[in-house]
């Protein structure tokens, strides 16, 4: 059974979860201590604020000899991987899955060691001191996949299309032949009661791509939407000499996303996205939320009445995306970058690390039907010509990998942004009545006018952040002062009334769902009581603030009126 997804992704392929009890050794330790994977090392006693390096290790058994792959849901945030003393590879970025290939793995026991750091500096252009915490450790699930037959299906990307009463699933499959000789296979695709067989597929050593299309009359399938999140299992099976040698199982759905003028369009109809920005952070678990905590977040967001979530400011755990698929929660997923200045974007590894993040985000998350759009570079240097070149470069990369979804980015370059013509959807962060005392309606008009005048005239517009902070339990109805629960509730009420259903607006995302930890130095510099970004409608332990009920009433009334 897989541990990285909510369902088993293989029935033919042998694969093993490597979750559980590992050893971890910190430089100051005399001996290893137990470390439960996945988890953030900040949950270990004495390591609550640890920034530095550590080595995590365990042994595992290979059932047969042949190529293999170690698959990591996420390591926070930079690592090097060693097997039996030999370096296999490395990775940067806590928030994207990745795999490391073992060309030949002998049957029997093996020693796996991972050297990890959560330090900032030269190693990282993306993990910097920021308004969320840089945790350390193996924070998402780990698996090992075995290929004794020397062949694997690396991925299958499914793109649904709809035209004149017919649904089409376009399947692009990447096959990898680990052996030095060309081989010939049969390939079978099965989804929604249809089965297609392709015989005599030639696979040279290395990578081979195979494309196919399967059509379905409209009456044979149910389209996916927030109200009817119908999912279908998809299976691809590879056979050689009539023997099954590998497979790939995933979920898909019949739905299309696009933009038309000022509208975001789902299955041909305009849709308004309303919900929350959500960090992967929890007072008990750091950024390594167990499945039960993810389920609780989904339950709370559904209770609040929202239909969308933005994965601020990085790709999310695939299990959370699986839950969004199942529950009809629309997802804006974005690459990892937040609030970077032009100087920070000139970091020598910035372009490389952003490219890798986008590659991994789209390659691994492509099939999630809930993902509406891809976003990039939240509040970065979009007010500069040099920054614009980097925005354009990343949008071009995304469109080359997935032209089926629209693109966006959240700007805060008030009066200076030069990038509004680049994305398919214009999105702006604004904080009336929190960082200023300006009227939300007037500010909404001003931001929309700026976007329209600078390249976004015929595009959808989303208010991607708005809100204010509150300390749980602090009430001040007389002064209604900042950081009181009542002031936060008032700010969100005024902002929501200004943007929900506003002509020309296609979405509204509250900042934010839950309170999140920040580094001490960030808290001092930017005024974060308790070293917490406290703009959540629930706190870091998911205890609701007064604003919870305010937002719930407004969202439910808005949904009922549409």
How many domains does one find in the chain? 3
- In the three-class reduction of DSSP (H, G, I as helix; E, B as strand; rest coil), residue 191 is classed as strand
CATH number at 67 reads 2.60.120.260
pLDDT at 3: 87
% of the chain residues with pLDDT over 70: 100
Q: What is the mean pLDDT of the chain?
A: 97
In a domain, 297, yes or no: yes
Report whether pLDDT(263) > 70: yes
Question: pLDDT band for position 99 (50/70/90)?
Answer: very high
- Average pLDDT for residues 108-133, to the nearest whole number? 95
Region 106-117: what's the mean pLDDT? Answer: 98
User: What pTM does this model have?
Assistant: 0.97
pLDDT value at residue 2: 64
Where does residue 263 rank: exposed (0-12), middle (13-18), buried (19+ CB within 10 A)?
middle
Residue pair 538/278 in contact (Cβ under 8 Å)? The answer is no
Whether 212 and 275 map to the same domain: the answer is: no
Q: What angle do CA 300, 303, 305 make, to 5 degrees?
A: 115
Residue 376 to residue 364: CA distance in whole angstroms? 17
Per-residue pLDDT for 319 more than 80?
yes
- Please tell me whether residues 239 and 302 are part of one structural domain: no
pLDDT, residue 1, reads: 53
Residues 229 and 316 in one domain: no
Percentage of residues in the chain with pLDDT exceeding 90? Answer: 98
Last residue of a domain, one of 122, 146, 170: 146
Same domain, 209 and 276: no
Do residues 93 and 227 share a domain?
A: no
- Whether residue 221 is predicted with pLDDT greater than 70 in this model: the reply is yes
Range of the domain at 400: 271-561
- Poorest-confidence range of 121-125, 182-186, 199-203, 205-209? 121-125
Q: If you average pLDDT over residues 21-25, what whole number do you get?
A: 98
**pLDDT of 291-303, one tens digit each?**
999 999 999 999 9
Q: Are residues 95 and 194 in the same domain?
A: no
Check which CATH number belongs to the domain holding 453 and give it: 3.20.20.80
Could you give the residue ranges of the DSSP H alpha helices within 45-91?
Answer: none
pLDDT given at position 121:
87
Does residue 266 belong to any structural domain of this protein?
no
pLDDT value of residue 30: 87
The mean pLDDT value for 532-541 works out to 98
pLDDT in tens, 467-488: 999 999 999 999 999 999 999 9
pLDDT at position 562 is 75
Residues 204 and 124 in one domain: no
Q: How confident is the model over 134-139, as a mean pLDDT?
A: 98
Which of 225, 252, 279 represents a domain boundary (last residue)?
A: 252
Are 373 and 506 within one domain? yes
The reply to whether 74 and 188 lie within a common domain is no
257 within domain boundaries: no
Same domain for 235 and 314, yes or no, is no
Q: Are residues 398 and 435 both part of a single domain?
A: yes
Does 437 sit behind a cis peptide bond, omega within 30 degrees of 0 on the bond before it? no
Task: Single out the residue of 302, 304, 187 nearest to residue 236, CA to CA.
Answer: 187
pLDDT band at residue 522 using 50, 70 and 90 as cut-offs: very high
Sheet holding 53-62, edge to edge: 33-37, 20-25, 53-62, 108-117, 78-83, 86-92
Q: What tokens appear for 328 in the block?
A: 């009809």
13-41: average pLDDT: 96
pLDDT digits (tens, 9 = 90+) for 441-455: 999 999 999 999 999
In this structure, are 49 and 69 located in the same domain? yes
């Amino acid at each position: 059974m897989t541990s990285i997804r909510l369902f088993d992704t293989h029935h033919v392929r042998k694969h093993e979860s490597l979750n559980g009890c590992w050893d971890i050794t910190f430089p100051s330790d005399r001996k290893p201590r137990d470390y439960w994977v996945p988890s953030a090392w900040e949950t270990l006693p004495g390591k609550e604020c640890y920034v530095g390096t550590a080595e995590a290790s365990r042994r595992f058994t290979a059932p047969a000899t042949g190529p293999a792959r170690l698959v990591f849901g996420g390591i926070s945030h930079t690592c090097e991987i060693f097997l039996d003393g030999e370096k296999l590879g490395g990775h940067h970025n806590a928030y994207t899955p990745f795999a490391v290939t073992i060309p030949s793995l002998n049957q029997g026991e093996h020693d796996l060691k991972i050297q990890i750091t959560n330090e900032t500096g030269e190693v990282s252009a993306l993990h910097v001191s920021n308004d969320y915490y840089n945790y350390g450790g193996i924070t998402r699930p780990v698996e090992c996949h075995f290929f004794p037959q020397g062949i694997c299906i690396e991925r299958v990307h499914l793109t649904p299309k709809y035209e004149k009463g017919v649904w089409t699933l376009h399947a692009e499959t990447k096959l990898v032949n680990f052996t030095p000789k060309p081989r010939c296979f049969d390939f079978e695709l099965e989804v929604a009661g249809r089965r297609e067989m392709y015989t005599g597929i030639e696979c040279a050593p290395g990578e081979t791509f195979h494309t196919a299309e399967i059509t379905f009359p409209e009456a044979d399938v149910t389209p996916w939407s927030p109200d009817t999140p119908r999912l279908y299992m998809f299976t691809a099976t590879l056979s050689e000499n009539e023997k099954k040698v590998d497979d790939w199982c995933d979920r898909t759905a019949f739905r299309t996303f696009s933009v038309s003028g000022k509208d975001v369009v789902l299955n041909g109809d305009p849709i308004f996205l309303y919900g929350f920005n959500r960090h992967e952070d929890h007072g008990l678990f750091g950024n390594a939320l167990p499945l039960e905590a993810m389920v609780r977040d989904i339950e709370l967001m559904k209770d609040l009445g929202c239909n969308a979530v933005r994965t601020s400011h990085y790709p999310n755990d695939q299990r959370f995306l699986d839950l969004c698929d199942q529950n009809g929660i629309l997802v804006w997923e974005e690459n990892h970058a937040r609030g970077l200045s032009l100087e920070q974007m000139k970091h020598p590894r910035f372009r490389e690390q952003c490219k890798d993040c986008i590659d991994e985000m789209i390659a691994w998350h492509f099939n999630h039907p809930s993902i509406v759009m891809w976003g990039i570079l939240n509040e970065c240097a979009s007010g500069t010509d040099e920054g614009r070149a980097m925005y354009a470069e990343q949008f071009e990369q995304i469109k080359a990998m997935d032209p089926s979804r629209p693109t966006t980015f959240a700007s805060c370059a008030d009066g200076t942004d030069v990038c509004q013509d680049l994305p398919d959807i214009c999105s702006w962060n604004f904080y009336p009545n929190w960082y200023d005392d300006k009227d939300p309606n007037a500010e909404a008009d001003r931001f929309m006018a700026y976007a329209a005048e600078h390249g976004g005239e015929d595009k959808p517009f989303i208010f991607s952040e708005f809100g204010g902070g509150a300390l749980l339990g602090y009430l001040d109805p007389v002064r209604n002062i900042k950081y009181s629960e009542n002031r936060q509730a008032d700010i969100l009420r005024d902002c929501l009334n200004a943007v929900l259903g506003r002509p020309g607006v296609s979405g509204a995302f509250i900042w934010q769902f839950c309170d999140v930890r920040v580094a001490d130095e960030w808290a001092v510099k930017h005024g974060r009581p308790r070293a917490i970004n406290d703009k959540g409608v629930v706190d870091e332990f998911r205890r609701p603030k007064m604003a919870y009920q305010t937002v719930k009433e407004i969202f439910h009334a808005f949904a009922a009126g549409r």
